[in-house]
Amino acid sequence: MFTGIITDVGRVKAVESNGDTRFTIETAFDMETVAIGASIANCGVCLTVIDKGPGWFAVQASAETLSKTTLGSWTPGTRVNLERAMKLGDELGGHIVSGHVDGVAAVVDVRPDGKSKRITFEAPANLAKYVASKGSVAIDGVSLTVNEVDGARFGVNIIPHTQVATTFGDLKPGDRVNMEIDMLARYVARLVGQE
């Protein structure tokens, strides 16, 4: 489990495909404190550390993961939002994020809003019903509050800190992002028979 509060922006160092795809990620995390087998959210995708060294770790993604997320488009140099798994007793600064991406959304519009940026996303049709104004959504692993919803489109404000502490400062129309709906919305929909 994660909180959606990004603690490092890493960079893809290498991509190797041998059946599954191995990504080597450069990071500022102290890898002495990360065990082999630990979970790290990579742009919202929970992946298992399979190898590590000073300033880097490696993860493996299956064809299923590549088909349901943006990871299939990663190349050396791609910037990646990173978050280590939550520990019992950690501050829950965002919302509960599982790291199980539900689909890929698209960036529709990016415009200034004071010093912030207003970003409009378009959710896949099957996920749009789970997005509510003032609710939570995780985009590329970042916990965000939804400002408004219009059909499958929804808007968020990205403050200057988030622009520099995540990959959101680089987003532009047409970009694809990993989307995880709020866990509570998923269970409420199930209870009322909408799923």
Domains of the chain, earliest start first: 8-84 (2.40.30.20), 103-191 (2.40.30.20)
The structure's pTM equals 0.92
Contacts of 193 (CB under 8 A, 6+ apart): none
- CA 166 to CA 10: how far, in whole Å? 10
Say what the alpha-carbon torsion angle 131, 188, 6, 75 is, to the nearest 10 degrees: -70
Q: Assess contact for 20 and 33: CB atoms under 8 A.
A: no
pLDDT in tens, the chain (195 residues): 898 999 999 999 999 998 899 999 999 999 999 999 999 999 999 999 999 999 999 999 999 999 999 999 999 999 999 999 987 767 767 777 889 999 999 999 999 999 999 999 999 999 999 999 999 999 999 999 999 999 999 999 999 999 999 999 999 999 999 999 987 776 676 677 766
Residue type, 62: S
100: alpha, beta or left, given left = phi > 0 and alpha = psi -120 to 50? beta
- CA 18 to CA 121: how far, in whole Å? 34
